[in-house]
Protein backbone atom coordinates (compact mmCIF):
# COMPACT_ATOMS: atom_id res chain seq x y z
CA UNK A 1 0.00 0.00 0.00
CA UNK A 2 1.21 3.50 -0.82
CA UNK A 3 -0.28 6.95 -0.47
CA UNK A 4 0.58 9.46 -3.18
CA UNK A 5 -0.59 13.06 -3.40
CA UNK A 6 -0.98 14.19 -6.98
CA UNK A 7 -0.24 17.76 -8.05
CA UNK A 8 -3.08 20.16 -7.26
CA UNK A 9 -4.76 17.78 -4.82
CA UNK A 10 -5.00 18.17 -1.06
CA UNK A 11 -5.73 14.52 -0.26
CA UNK A 12 -3.48 11.55 -0.98
CA UNK A 13 -4.63 8.71 -3.21
CA UNK A 14 -4.31 5.26 -1.61
CA UNK A 15 -2.83 2.62 -3.89
CA UNK A 16 -3.12 -1.06 -2.98
CA UNK A 17 -1.58 -4.18 -4.40
CA UNK A 18 1.94 -5.16 -5.36
CA UNK A 19 3.93 -1.94 -5.82
CA UNK A 20 7.58 -1.26 -6.51
CA UNK A 21 9.37 2.04 -5.86
CA UNK A 22 11.13 3.10 -9.06
CA UNK A 23 12.42 6.52 -8.02
CA UNK A 24 12.55 8.57 -4.83
CA UNK A 25 14.11 12.03 -4.88
CA UNK A 26 13.73 15.30 -3.03
CA UNK A 27 14.92 17.13 0.05
CA UNK A 28 14.68 16.88 3.82
CA UNK A 29 14.78 20.07 5.86
CA UNK A 30 13.69 21.54 9.19
CA UNK A 31 10.49 22.68 7.43
CA UNK A 32 9.72 19.08 6.47
CA UNK A 33 10.33 16.74 3.56
CA UNK A 34 9.57 17.46 -0.09
CA UNK A 35 9.73 14.17 -1.98
CA UNK A 36 8.88 12.95 -5.47
CA UNK A 37 8.20 9.25 -5.94
CA UNK A 38 7.41 6.97 -8.85
CA UNK A 39 5.95 3.50 -8.29
CA UNK A 40 4.88 0.76 -10.65
CA UNK A 41 2.07 -1.72 -10.13
CA UNK A 42 1.90 -5.43 -11.03
CA UNK A 43 0.80 -4.50 -14.58
CA UNK A 44 3.79 -2.22 -15.17
CA UNK A 45 1.73 0.97 -14.93
CA UNK A 46 3.90 3.81 -13.56
CA UNK A 47 2.46 6.41 -11.17
CA UNK A 48 4.34 9.54 -10.08
CA UNK A 49 3.49 11.98 -7.30
CA UNK A 50 4.82 14.49 -4.80
CA UNK A 51 4.80 14.12 -1.03
CA UNK A 52 5.13 17.07 1.31
- pTM check: above 0.85: no
Q: Parse the chain into domains and list their residue ranges.
A: 2-51
- More confident: 52 or 21: 21
Q: What is the pLDDT of residues 15-50, one digit of tens each?
A: 899 999 999 999 999 999 988 999 999 999 998 776
Q: For position 27, what pLDDT does the model report?
A: 95
**Tell me, which fold does domain 2-51 have in CATH?**
60s Ribosomal Protein L30; Chain: A; (3.30.1330)
In terms of DSSP bridges, do strands 34-41 and 46-51 run parallel, antiparallel, or are they unpaired? antiparallel
In whole angstroms, give the CA distance from residue 19 to residue 6.
17
The whole-number pLDDT of residue 52 equals 57
Amino acid sequence: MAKLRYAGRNEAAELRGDLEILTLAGSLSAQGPHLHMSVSDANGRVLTATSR
